[in-house]
Chain A
Amino acid sequence: AAGVIQSPRHLIKEKRETATLKCYPIPRHDTVYWYQQGPGQDPQFLISFYEKMQSDKGSIPDRFSAQQFSDYHSELNMSSLELGDSALYFCASSSLNEKLFFGSGTQLSVL
């Protein structure tokens, strides 16, 4: 069965650079969620989209933005990267009101 696909799997950036993470939800899923998980931390909710509109917002820094496109894939844009942004970034998708399916994550390292 198709799963949530995230790209890239690994990303290395320098401080103050920008990064774009991509998420392709399970077919026919209309809702996408982004989570950040720092080393030794629990996943922290960043933002979610339903039918291409922002639905819920968590602890997403102002330097980050995200959107969901007409084909339902989503991108998380991160600017002015800081060392503290180094983390695993997970995307999840669901049909509205249903359980979440998570991708394998993108490991971002900021040097």
Chain B
Amino acid sequence: DAKTTQPTSMDCAEGRAANLPCNHSTISGNEYVYWYRQIHSQGPQYIIHGLKNNETNEMASLIITEDRKSSTLILPHATLRDTAVYYCIGDSGGGADGLTFGKGTHLIIQP
């Protein structure tokens, strides 16, 4: 699995867009970028994933640079319930291999 690097923590005002960066310069061609989040002591929750193209779903948007060495998760209108630890994970998505959670970003949404 690719090594990823994320800021330890970030603040964002409620109602604003939260942009969470992730560096994954060693990601290989067949590895997807996955984002999960964990709200305090709950099970991690899948957010979104992508390979090369930008992706959007009901929760977030994922912007992947053309060289695939970094990406940004965008929560368009952050709410207090978005306060959580956000994990960026590089994984081939094949088989039943476990995802490797690194040090995520603690996002704090301020009222």
Contact = CB atoms under 8 A, between A and B. Distances in A.
A104 B87 CA distance: 18
Given A42-B101, A42-B103, A49 B46 contact: no
Contacts of B98: 33, 35, 45-48, 56, 58
A84 to B, nearest CB: 19
Interface residues of A, number: 29
A70 interface: no
Interface residues of B, number: 24
B59 interface: no
B43 A104 contact: yes
Interface in B22-73: 34, 36, 38, 41-46, 49
B85 to A, nearest CB: 8
How would you classify the secondary structure of chain A's contact residues: helix, strand, loop or mixed?
A: strand
Contact of B96 (A46, A56, A99, A103): A56
B22 to A, nearest CB: 15
B99 interface: yes
Contact of A50 (B44, B46, B95): B95
24 contacts: A33-B96, A35-B101, A42-B87, A42-B102, A42-B103, A43-B44, A45-B99, A45-B101, A48-B98, A55-B95, A55-B97, A92-B43, A94-B96, A96-B95, A96-B96, A100-B36, A100-B44, A101-B46, A102-B43, A102-B45, A104-B42, A105-B41, A105-B42, A105-B43
Interface of B: 34, 36, 38, 41-46, 49, 85, 87, 93-104
